[in-house]
Amino acid sequence: MKKQISWINTARTLCIIAIYLRHSEIYYEMTEDTSLLSDLFTPFRVVIFFFISGYLFFRKRLNPTSLTESQEHKGKDYISALKHLMFRLAIPTILFASFIYIPKCLFHDSGLSLSQYMYDVIGGTSYWFTSALTVAQVILLTLIFITKTHILRYLFLSVIFMMVGIYLGEEHYTAFPWHWQSALVATFFLCLGGTYQRYENKIDQWLKPYGALVMTIAYFVLIFSGTSIETMIAPIKLNTLGMATILLGLGFIISISKWLPDLNRLNYIGQHTITFYFFSGVMPALFSSILHQLHNDVLPHAYIIVAIMSLCASFVTTYIINTKLAFLLDLRRLKKGV
């Protein structure tokens, strides 16, 4: 599991860049309107991270050697896996949400409040992706250690979770606690990633070469057709065409990522996606503010400059964290002295 898979890093790199571009658009242009670049990645730029997390999650958790028969061992394995999830995902989410809380309040001109801090940070509403991913993985981890069954059964169960999440989200979406409704929807994409991992060779044989081309053409037709496509997960908006577009988009980005050569240094981004994600809001907001101070008017396509500066700053920050402050990503390293 320590060996990184090249296409995964490529896909994550491309999509985190797309997220920075989108956030730079929002903060610099102060509008929800999207550009052509945003439209290209919108349906799957976040979903791909759930998909890949599911790919890696099920690759490890449904490995026969990782599932013991003893109830006592099962219990210990479950607690160990849950602890790992908390230290690697939940606690870093709380830590980084704490770091940006004051700058976030200042940027949005909102007052500091302990109750709001508890809601945003401890309640897991600041970073919707890592919050939803944490809850989704807890759900699947619990199911795996209870049932220890085949991936297709989890895929079936995840469809039910997704339908419940969409229904609840349409009725009344609530981010508190930990974007749990989005997590219900996200379980499907985690299981979809696990299913792909299980049948990867067979699916890839179908994709190469004409299947990928057909999916790509169908994807572009849908996103530029002008039809009503809802592909959001937080807050939840997902219709049938939106789901079709997401699935085609996943096929498109996976095919492209497997076709592209290794991105070398850029893959550092893909290897540290979570850390880059933590700065994907604050950096574009910071550099958008700086650019606005330098030039009052909104310059055409200047959000791309904001995105590049934000990525560079996040690259340096991520490098410093990983080399000097790695305990922020896993507090257990303090005990190990790493």
* Secondary structure of the chain as H, E, C letters: CCCCCHHHHHHHHHHHHHHHHHHHHHHHHCCCCCCHHHHHHCCCCCHHHHHHHHHHHHHHHCCHHHCCCCHHHHHHHHHHHHHHHHHHHHHHHHHHHHHHHHHHHHHCCCCCCHHHHHHHHHCCCCCHHHHHHHHHHHHHHHHHHHHCCCHHHHHHHHHHHHHHHHHHHHHHCCCCCCCHHHHHHHHHHHHHHHHHHHCHHHHHHHHHHHHHHHHHHHHHHHHCCCCCCCEECCCCEECHHHHHHHHHHHHHHHHHHHHCCCCHHHHHHHHCHHHHHHCCCHHHHHHHHHHHHHCCCCCCCCHHHHHHHHHHHHHHHHHHHHHHCHHHHCCHHHHHCC
Q: What is the pLDDT of residue 71?
A: 47
pLDDT at 105 over 90: no
Report residue 248: phi and psi, to 5°: -65, -40
In a domain, residue 271? The reply is: yes
Least confident segment among 1-15, 92-106, 117-131: 1-15
Question: In the structure, what pLDDT confidence band is assigned to residue 59 with cuts at 50, 70 and 90?
Answer: confident
42 within domain boundaries: yes
Residue 192 lies in a domain: yes
Instruction: Identify the pLDDT of residue 253.
Output: 92
Of 99-108, 178-187, 250-259, 312-321, give the lowest mean pLDDT range.
99-108
Whether 27 maps to a domain, the answer reads yes
pLDDT of 234 > 80? The answer is: no
Q: Is the pLDDT of residue 318 over 90?
A: yes
- Host domain of residue 113: 6-336
Q: Mean pLDDT score of the chain, rounded to an integer?
A: 86
Share of the chain above pLDDT 70, in %: 91
Q: Is residue 1 in some structural domain? A: no
Tell me, yes or no, whether 144 lies in a domain.
yes
Residue 78 has a pLDDT of 84
Tokens of 299: 């310059």
Residues in the chain: 338
Cα-Cα-Cα-Cα dihedral sign, residues 192, 198, 200, 205: negative
Count of the separate structural domains present in the chain: 1
Q: If you average pLDDT over residues 261-284, what whole number do you get?
A: 89
The model's pLDDT over 150-167, given as tens digits with 9 standing for 90+, comes to 888 999 999 999 999 988
CA angle 16, 188, 172 (to 5 degrees): 90
Residue 35 lies in a domain: yes
At 2, the pLDDT band (50, 70, 90 cuts) reads very low
pLDDT band at 337, cuts 50/70/90?
low
